[in-house]
Amino acid sequence: DAEITQSPRHKITETGRQVTLACHQTWNHNNMFWYRQDLGHGLRLIHYSYGVQDTNKGEVSDGYSVSRSNTEDLPLTLESAASSQTSVYFCASSPTGQGNTEAFFGQGTRLTVV
Amino acid sequence: GESVGLHLPTLSVQEGDNSIINCAYSNSASDYFIWYKQESGKGPQFIIDIRSNMDKRQGQRVTVLLNKTVKHLSLQIAATQPGDSAVYFCADSLWIDKLIFGTGTRLQVFP
């Protein structure tokens, strides 16, 4: 079955380190998204991509970057991890041109920056 | 800017009763609305969606109502069950396929 997977599921890192969270989907979806989820803020969009070589900033993109070298993967990089980036991160994908924008979410990555 | 919010952070209902979760959105140009359910430790799961050319859409035990005049969205769950306990998010988007989420409502079902 097609799916979307995130790795790792849990990560502890130190302030200042570079961290990369992986997201891989097997639906061949063009759209991919990264959200962070914090208590009281719901899901906030970090970066998104509408296809290979396309990346766009979301509402909370500072300190994060993404790259889209193929359809299946959208890794999220924290250039220099900060305690404020402690959060749960969700990756999602959705198709285009199919009359709806339902997004399928991964299981999440819990990141702790100490 | 675009924003989607929820009126109630926590909703407690008795098993078997109907639940109504409300949501307000600010962007009158939004043309697609969606409800997600998130259980503890899991990613959001799609429940039901509706386009702006509709006022009501029904699924299995769930109904979404859209009132474009007052920019209000609601999710109705019939005969609420313990398995419905979760956080529910509404989200809206414009044609660009980008979803903007509200802060979520926690639904608690008690026997």
For A101, nearest residue in chain B (alpha carbons): B97
Distance between CA atoms of A80 and A85, rounded to whole angstroms?
10
Looking at residue B95, its pLDDT comes to 60
Average the pLDDT over B69-92 and give the result. 95
Residue of B43, B49, B89 with shortest CB distance to A102: B49
Put simply, the answer to whether B93 touches A101 (Cβ < 8 Å) is: yes
Where does the pLDDT of residue B2 fall: very low under 50, low under 70, confident under 90, or very high at 90 and above? very low
pLDDT digits (tens, 9 = 90+) for B28-44: 888 889 999 999 889 99
- Chain B positions with Cβ closer than 8 Å to A: 32, 34, 36, 41-46, 49, 89, 91, 93, 97-104
Residue B103 C-alpha, separation from nearest chain A C-alpha, in angstroms: 4
Looking at residue B99, its pLDDT comes to 81
Residue B39 C-alpha, separation from nearest chain A C-alpha, in angstroms: 11
Looking at residue B3, its pLDDT comes to 43
Looking at residue B28, its pLDDT comes to 86
Q: Percent of chain B beyond pLDDT 70?
A: 90
Residues of A in contact with B100 (CB under 8 A): 45
- Identify any residues that bridge with B102 across adjacent strands, giving them in sequence order: none
Where does the pLDDT of residue B5 fall: very low under 50, low under 70, confident under 90, or very high at 90 and above? very low
Cα→Cα distances A79→A85, B67, B78, Å: 11, 43, 46
Distance between CA atoms of A77 and A67, rounded to whole angstroms?
9
Residue B107 C-alpha, separation from nearest chain A C-alpha, in angstroms: 15
**Token pair belonging to A20:** 């990369």
- Identify any residues that bridge with A35 across adjacent strands, giving them in sequence order: A45, A90
What b/e string do you get for B81-93 counting C-beta neighbours within 10 Å, with b at 16 or more? eeebbbbbbbbbb
Q: pLDDT averaged over chain B?
A: 88
Residues of A in contact with B35 (CB under 8 A): none
Determine the straight-line distance between the first and last CA of chain B, rounded to whole angstroms: 41
Looking at residue A8, its pLDDT comes to 97
Put simply, the answer to whether B99 touches A90 (Cβ < 8 Å) is: no
Q: Which of A40-44, B66-70, B81-85 has the lowest mean pLDDT?
A: A40-44
pLDDT of chain A, 114 residues: tens digit per residue: 669 999 999 999 999 999 999 999 999 999 999 999 987 678 999 999 999 999 999 989 999 999 999 999 999 999 999 999 999 999 999 887 555 668 899 999 999 999
Give SS3 for B38.
Answer: strand
Cα→Cα distances A87→A53, A80, A112, B64, Å: 27, 15, 7, 30
